[in-house]
């Protein structure tokens, strides 16, 4: 003899619902704990993505540092005051790339830096819209369009081993017979009289020579042809033209063009 238990359909539905709720409750509780734990312990990757650092500049801003004096020692040649002044004068007169107003601003700022007036020099740099990422002009200056302006060491500042008195011409020759380039200048230095003497002594191979044809605007002709080394720059060619054409010291070759 047996017995049976019967329940109505509504009761079974309520019981099933209650049972399902009780079975899911530990899982829901577990998810709640996991969610709380995840909120308490932030993800490293999420922190990297959403963190905002004041060191990161907007894309429309360029990093700029205050200009500072460049300290260097000349390793491959000796400089005196007269030579440095001449180098700087010719350097800024022979720039063919970049904007003239930027070169003028750099020239004025560098002249002030030579006198120790960094404050006024900085104001000129800022007014011209020039940025110097490292503060060292020898490592590059940029205009507002991002054009790079490169400056040799001898243009930016005097070497620490500057010769106080004028030396003889032969004291400026280098042993390797090459251009007197300072190693970390970042740009070619303007050729000097030592290179002209090496050419005259026949130390330059004929394979490294090229012929340059020039026409002077102060005379009708004929065209002049000068022979120079492949590595010579515009300032050297201008000086050689001035010498061979016997252009007076009161005249200056300010522009060289080619067709």
Q: What is the pTM of this model?
A: 0.47
User: If you average pLDDT over every residue of the chain, what do you get?
Assistant: 70
* Per-residue model confidence (pLDDT) at position 202: 53
172 touches 78 (CB < 8 A): yes
Same domain, 111 and 79: yes
125 touches 132 (CB < 8 A): yes
* Per-residue model confidence (pLDDT) at position 240: 78
Report the SS3 class of residue 186.
Answer: coil
* Per-residue model confidence (pLDDT) at position 59: 47
* Per-residue model confidence (pLDDT) at position 34: 45
Is residue 170 one of the residues assigned to a domain? yes
Final residue of a structural domain among 192, 219, 238: 192
We report the CATH number of the domain holding residue 135 as 1.20.225.20
**Tokens in use for 92?**
């800024």
- Kindly indicate the confidence band of residue 173, based on its pLDDT and cuts at 50, 70 and 90: very low
Phi, psi dihedral angles at 212 (to 5 degrees): -115, 125
Residue 168 has pLDDT above 50, yes or no: no
Final residue of a structural domain among 192, 215, 237: 192
User: Structurally, how many domains does the chain consist of?
Assistant: 2
* Per-residue model confidence (pLDDT) at position 172: 45
Phi, psi dihedral angles at 51 (to 5 degrees): -70, 135
Same domain, 232 and 121: no
Average pLDDT over residues 7-32: 46
Same domain, 227 and 132: no
- Kindly indicate the confidence band of residue 164, based on its pLDDT and cuts at 50, 70 and 90: confident
Same domain, 75 and 179: yes
Same domain, 228 and 142: no
Is residue 50 one of the residues assigned to a domain? no
Same domain, 224 and 113: no
Q: Write out pLDDT tens, residues 182-213.
A: 444 433 444 444 555 555 555 567 777 888 88
Is residue 26 one of the residues assigned to a domain? no
CA distance 76 to 69: 21
- Kindly indicate the confidence band of residue 73, based on its pLDDT and cuts at 50, 70 and 90: very high
160 touches 73 (CB < 8 A): yes
Same domain, 226 and 179: no
CA distance 211 to 228: 6
Same domain, 188 and 120: yes
CA distance 178 to 232: 11
Residue 166 has pLDDT above 70, yes or no: no
Domain containing residue 218: 204-248
Same domain, 129 and 235: no
CA distance 209 to 231: 9
Is residue 171 one of the residues assigned to a domain? yes
Share of the chain above pLDDT 70, in %: 53
Report the SS3 class of residue 92.
Answer: helix
């Amino acid at each position: 003899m047996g017995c049976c238990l019967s329940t109505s359909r509504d009761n079974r539905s309520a019981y099933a619902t209650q049972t399902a709720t009780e079975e899911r409750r530990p899982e829901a509780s577990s998810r709640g704990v996991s969610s709380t734990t995840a909120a308490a312990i932030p993800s490293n990757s999420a922190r990297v993505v959403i963190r905002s650092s004041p060191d990161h500049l907007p894309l429309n801003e360029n990093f700029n540092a205050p200009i500072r004096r460049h300290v260097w020692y000349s390793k491959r040649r000796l400089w005196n005051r007269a030579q440095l002044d001449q180098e700087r004068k010719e350097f800024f007169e022979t720039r063919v790339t970049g904007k003239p107003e930027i070169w003028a601003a750099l020239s004025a700022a560098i002249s002030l830096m030579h006198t120790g007036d960094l404050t006024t020099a900085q104001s000129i740099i800022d007014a011209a819209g020039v940025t110097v990422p490292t503060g060292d002009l020898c490592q590059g200056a940029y205009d507002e369009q991002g054009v790079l302006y490169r400056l040799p060491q001898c243009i930016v500042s005097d070497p620490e081993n500057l010769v106080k008195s004028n030396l003889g011409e032969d004291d400026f020759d280098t042993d390797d017979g090459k251009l007197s380039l300072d190693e970390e200048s970042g740009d070619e230095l303007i050729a000097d009289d030592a290179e002209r003497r090496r050419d005259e002594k026949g130390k330059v191979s004929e394979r490294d020579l090229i012929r340059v044809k020039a026409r002077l605007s102060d005379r009708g002709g004929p065209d002049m042809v000068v022979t120079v080394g492949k590595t010579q720059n515009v300032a050297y060619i201008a000086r050689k033209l001035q010498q061979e054409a016997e252009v007076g010291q009161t005249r200056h070759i300010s522009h060289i063009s080619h067709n």
